[in-house]
Structure 1
């Protein structure tokens, strides 16, 4: 079974084993190794058990050179064929006596109880190992080694902690087992063991001597001619051990969990807030236009058209034919199949009067603020105020739901109709009007406003409140919020179609020869100028009747107006404006990654420390035949369960903190998506990635040589 040929082992300049040659073949003999402390007995056992292969010479185990065994071969050998009882027992203190035996391999309860009874441990089966004496631990370690009837059992000072009566009992038990074919090889200083020995070796000054042999040579070993082990597949209690170990270490996991839960909670809140702030940029950028609408104007060209003009030294930004759209342009667009609505407007004109020319502005000073609002408007305490000026919508009511250029978020009612005395008021103005939080009753009521007429006279006009919009004052207070009136056309065509206006354009286009030539279609004469001015409306809003036909309408418009830059949901993500979209996405991704990395590294280091502290435990598993793969499975399972619990607790605390505090603060809007399924999944996915990195790093640090070193120390 064991054969050593010219075995030499050195530690630096010290030779521990010097050209040792011997063999052990008879499993019916009890073999004992004696020698002074430090003579190399434990070193020899480490070689036998496969913990040390840095030697010269040959060591054959079951007829095979041990250096040809792979790591998985040694895992199999330690599981089924070769067991070792260490001086310090290598038991799991957090487990009971029974669990230490049960979890060491795939054994039946009947066998376990039989060994416990033989070792006089049955009454201690449910006692935690940490609570029993050294002698009792010694017996548990021996009992664990005997389980499964391995072919070789190595015992390093097996009676060092036992009294005389127990030693006799254990040696009688070992004698019975060795008569069943288990080879026992014992290191001892206990002379009482020598009387049980069949073969006694002495290690002295690196040399091995046989001092006594009863019948070692009377046995002929039958070695199969094979250079491979016969594997017997048996299950290990990997999952049971992991779950049981977690339960027994719950106090330790709780202490570890406190900083991790705090970090995860901060991660959840910071990530949610950052996402909300970033998505707020997305919302303000994209929400003004829906997926069926295309907007373009005569003064905004595509990047390709702008580049071509620059290359030709043309210093204006139009197509050289139009200043504004003509009635013919509008009719052509309206005739495109699947176009639902077409509106032409003057782009960017924000008038501060209603359709009759009336102007109005209200003011809210700190002393006039309703009591329930004072805490939110505290910043205007020192002489500042909030104004509410009259302002007209920039697009007709027919398309304002499709192209809400001011990103107005209506919370009650509707937009005002065109050319009407209807108004859409901000929520703060509504609070001022009724000095109460319930503002819904203001919808469809009429109020009198002291306005300034077009002739600069102070008159009283009645306006109907048809809607109230959200100002978002809690998160960002502005000094001014418009009271919106309905759209009124602002083209002022007659003021544009006169000789002075024509001459202005002529002179403006004479900035250089290239520009003058490029615009000659417009400035050739007044008639051409009149055609170029068209309706005076330079922006067109086109709404498709069905999103399914958006692409076909879009392509038709591009054929008609190839040089114009279009604004649509498609263009925001794919066209000239896509760089803004990509920038927002990039910032969102980078910011999310930075937050995840900062929090993740902290969590990873905490978990790494916990895994590192468990290396001694893993070393014990290693000597029981558990492979690195088994240990990796245990770490992965435990981290998966533990971090799922940590994540649940952290999310619950974050939600509670939001309800108690954040939701009532001016930053509450940043956490409105905290409990949405999408946010939970995103955060959990990031935590899974963090845990995976932690597991990979932790497992990478568990090297076989480190585990062996712990076993040898």
Structure 2
């Protein structure tokens, strides 16, 4: 079974084992090794148990060179064939006596109870090991070793700590087991054990000598059947051990969890807020234009066209042909197939009056604020105010749903129609005139406003409330909010076709020779100026009949107006404005990754320390035949369970924080997506990545050599 030939072991210049020869051939014998402390007995056992391969000479275990065994072979051997009882027991302190035995291998309850009874431990089966005495721990360690009837058991001072049970009783039990085919090799200073020994060896000055022998039958290694290492792996209780480990260390895990939960809470809130702020930027950037609309202006050139003008020192924002779109331009567009609507407007015009020229402005002071709003508008108490002003829509009603240029979020009702006395009011104004939080009854009702007419007379006009829009005042209070009236033509061409307007353009483009030459088709004479002004409208809104036809219409429009910058969903992501889109995407990705990395590093370091503190525990598993893969499974499962609990607690705290005070603060809008499926999934995936990285980093230190070192210390 064990065959050592000319084996030498040194530590530096000190020779501990000097050219020793030792053969243990009888599977039913008790071998005893004596020697003074420090003589090398434990060193020899470490070699026999496969914990030390740094020696010279030969050590054959079951007829095979021990160095030829792979790590997985040793896992099998330590589980089934050769076991060792250490001086410090190598027990799981947080588990019960029964659990220590049960988790050491695939053993039935009857077998475990039989061993406990034989070791006088049955009454302690449910006692946690850390609460029992040293002698009782010694017996638990011996009981665990004899389970499964291995071929060899190595015992390092098995009776050194016995209490409440005599050495005779332990040795009688061992004698019974050896008669069943188990070979025992014992290190001891206890002379009473020598009476039970079949062969006694003494280690002295690095040499092993046999000092006594009795009842030793002739037994030759050649008489044994050749040993074949079984490839089947004994079942390991990975799941049960993980569950028990988490359950029994709940207090420690809870203490460790306090900083991690706080960190995860901050991670959840900061990530959610950053995502919301980034998405808000996306929303603002992409708002207004839908998937079927294309908007372009005579005053906005493509970046390529603008760069060409700049290189030629031309300081102009037009294409050299037109200031406004002509009727011919409109006809060309109308001839393009699959166009549903065309509207011409004046870009950038904001009129603070209705189609009749009436103006209205109302200042809301703190005294006039409904009681239920005063908490949200408390800053007005300090002398600030909110102003409501009549403001005309800059886009016709026919295309307002396609090109909602002001990004108006209607919460009830509809947009006002063109050239009408209909109005769309802000929610704050609705609260004020209804004096309650329920304003739905205002839709289609009429209201009288004291307005200033086009002739500057104070008159009363009646308007119909057709819609109410969301101001988001709880999150970002503005000093003024529009009361929208319907669109009307705010700039006719004849208003621009004056001699004064013509001379203004002439002087504007005389800034340098290059600009003057480039603009001659506009400023050559009044007739050229009139032709370039066209209809007087410089913005065209084109709506395609179907999204499937968008690309064809888009390409045809580019042929007609190649120098104009188009605004569409396509252009925002792929065209002239795509740099803004890509910048937003980059900021979102980089910001999210940065937050995850910062939080992740903190969590990883905390978890790394937790795993490192448990290496002694993993070493105990290792000496019982648990492979490195088994240990990694345990670490992964345990971290998965623990961090799932931490994450759920952190998310619950985040929800409570939002429910109690965040949603009522001015930053509340940043947490509206806290419980959305996308946000939960994103955060969960990031936490999984963080935990996975911490596990990978943590288990890098779980190496066989490190575990062996812990067992030898």
Alignment correspondent of 1:125: 125
1:521 corresponds in structure 2 to 521
Aligned to 2:649: 649
Whether contact under 8 Å (2:474, 2:664) holds in the other structure is no
Matched residue, 1:170: 170
Aligned to 1:273: 273
* Residue matched to 1:35: 35
- TM-score (normalised: structure 2): 0.96
For 2:224 and 2:463, the matched residues in 1 are separated by: 105
Structure 1 residues 229-244: aligned runs within 5 Å: 229-244=229-244
- Post-superposition Cα deviations, 1:125-144, rounded to whole Å, max 9, x if no partner, equal 23322233322222221121
How far is the alpha carbon of 1:90 from its aligned partner? 0.9
Deviation at 1:397, TM superposition (A): 0.9
Distance in 2 between residues matched to 1:613 and 1:79, nearest whole Å: 25
In the alignment, which residue of structure 2 is the partner of 1:140?
140
Measure, in 2, the Cα distance between the counterparts of 1:227 and 1:586: 64
> In 2, Cα distance between the equivalents of 1:623 and 1:279?
54
Gaps of 5+ in 1: none
| Whole-angstrom distance in 2 between the partners of 1:322 and 1:217 | 117
Instruction: State the Cα deviation string for residues 108-134 of structure 1 (Å, max 9, x = none).
Output: 223223322322323332332223332
User: Is this contact kept in 1: 2:420–2:485, CA < 8 A?
Assistant: yes
How far off is 1:35 after superposition?
0.7
Q: Is contact 1:491-1:535 (8 Å) kept?
A: no
Equivalent residue, structure 1, for 2:679: 679
Q: Secondary structure at the match of 1:441?
A: helix
Q: Which whole-Å CA distance do the structure 2 matches of 1:308 and 1:215 have between them?
A: 108
Once residues 630 and 255 of structure 2 are traced to their aligned partners in structure 1, the CA distance between those partners, rounded to angstroms, is 26
Cα distance per residue 1:33-91 (max 9 Å; x no partner):
10111111111111111111222332222222222322222212111211000111111
Partner Cα separation in structure 1 for residue 153 and residue 251 of structure 2: 36
Residues 63 and 223, structure 1, Cα contact 8 Å, conserved in 2: no
The worse-fitting range, judged by mean Cα deviation, of 313-322 and 86-95 is 313-322
- Which moves more between the two structures, 679-688 or 644-653? 644-653
Change (3 A) 1:703 1:393: same
The answer to which of 26-35 and 251-260 deviates more is 251-260
**1:534 — aligned with what?**
534
Question: Could you tell me whether the CA contact under 8 Å between 1:28 and 1:178 is conserved in 2?
Answer: yes
Moved more, 431-440 or 642-651: 431-440
- Is the contact between residue 76 and residue 234 of structure 2 (CA under 8 Å) also seen in structure 1? no
SS of 1:474 mapped into structure 2: coil
SS at match of 1:298: strand
- Does residue 213 (structure 1) correspond to residue 182 (structure 2)? The answer is no
Match of 1:412 in 2: 412
Scaled by the length of structure 1, the TM-score of the pair is 0.96
Say if 2:79 and 2:234, in contact at 8 Å, map to a contact too: no
Report the equivalent of 1:305.
305
Per the TM alignment, residue 376 of structure 1 is displaced from its structure 2 partner at its CA by 1.7
3-state SS, counterpart of residue 510 of structure 1: coil
Distance 2:217 2:562 in 1: 102
Q: Tell me the equivalent position of 1:285.
A: 285
CA distance in 1, matches of 2:318, 2:8: 92
Query: Hey, what's the Cα distance between the residues in 2 that align with 1:457 and 1:394?
Result: 25
Q: CA RMSD in A?
A: 2.0
Q: Which residue does the alignment assign to 1:386?
A: 386
2:440 is matched with 440
Provide closer, same or farther for how the CA distance between residues 224 and 697 of structure 1 changes in structure 2, counting only shifts above 3 A.
Answer: farther
* Shift in CA distance, 356/38, structure 1 to aligned 2, threshold 3 Å: same
Displacement, 1:298? 0.9
> Could you tell me whether the CA contact under 8 Å between 1:423 and 1:463 is conserved in 2?
yes
**What is the CA–CA distance in structure 2 between the aligned matches of 1:334 and 1:214, rounded to whole Å?**
115
Deviation of 1:226 (Å): 8.5
Alpha-carbon distance, 1:217 to partner:
7.7
CA–CA distance in structure 2, aligned partners of residues 569 and 224 of structure 1: 83
Give the whole-Å Cα distance in 1 for the aligned partners of 2:520 and 2:313.
15
Decide whether the 8 Å contact of 1:376 with 1:474 is kept in 2. Answer: yes
Match of 1:372 in 2: 372
Shift of 1:234: 2.0
Say which SS state the counterpart of residue 7 (structure 2) adopts.
Answer: strand
Q: Which residue pairs with 1:348 in the alignment?
A: 348
How far apart in 1 are the matches of 2:225 and 2:156?
A: 31
Q: Distance in 2 between matches of 1:227 and 1:518?
A: 99
Deviation at 1:688, TM superposition (A): 0.6
Q: Distance in 2 between matches of 1:645 and 1:265?
A: 13
Mapped contact 2:32–2:194 kept (Cα < 8 A): yes
Match for residue 296 of structure 2?
296
For residue 154 of structure 1, report the CA deviation from its aligned partner: 0.4
Tell me by how many angstroms 1:258 deviates. Answer: 2.6
Using the TM superposition, name which of 373-382 and 296-305 deviates more.
373-382
Following superposition, the deviation at residue 685 of structure 1 comes to: 0.8
Matches within 5 A, 1:448-597: 448-597=448-597
Shift, 1:504, TM fit: 2.9
Local SS of the residue matching 1:101: helix
Could you tell me how far apart the structure 2 residues matched to 1:675 and 1:83 are?
Answer: 53
Q: Compute the displacement of 1:224 (Å).
A: 8.5
Query: Aligned in 2, Cα 1:661/1:187: closer, same or farther, shift over 3 Å?
Result: same
4+ residue segments displaced more than 6 Å:
223-228
2:130 counterpart of 1:156: no
Is residue 48 of structure 2 the alignment partner of residue 26 of structure 1?
no
Distance (Å, rounded) in 2 between the aligned partners of 1:226 and 1:160: 36
| Unmatched runs of 5 consecutive residues or more in structure 2 | none
Matched residue, 1:95: 95
CA contact (8 A) 1:62 1:223 kept: no
Which stretch of the first structure deviates more once superposed, 252-261 or 572-581?
252-261
Written as runs of structure 1 = structure 2, the 5 A alignment for 1:560-709 is 560-709=560-709
Structure 1 residue 228: deviation in Å?
7.7
Alpha-carbon distance in 2 for matches of 1:250, 1:613:
15
User: Conserved in 1, the CA contact under 8 Å of 2:136 and 2:163?
Assistant: no
What is the deviation of 1:412? 1.8
Where 2:34 maps in the other structure, the secondary structure is: strand
8 Å Cα contact 1:63/1:224 also seen in 2: no
Going from structure 1 to structure 2, the CA distance change for 1:32 and 1:353 (only over 3 Å counts) comes to same
Q: Per-residue deviation at 1:165?
A: 5.5
Which residue does the alignment assign to 1:259?
A: 259
State the SS of the aligned residue for 2:567: coil
Q: Is the 8 A contact 1:33 1:201 kept in 2?
A: yes
* SS of residue matched to 1:300: strand
- Higher mean Cα deviation, 298-307 or 59-68? 59-68
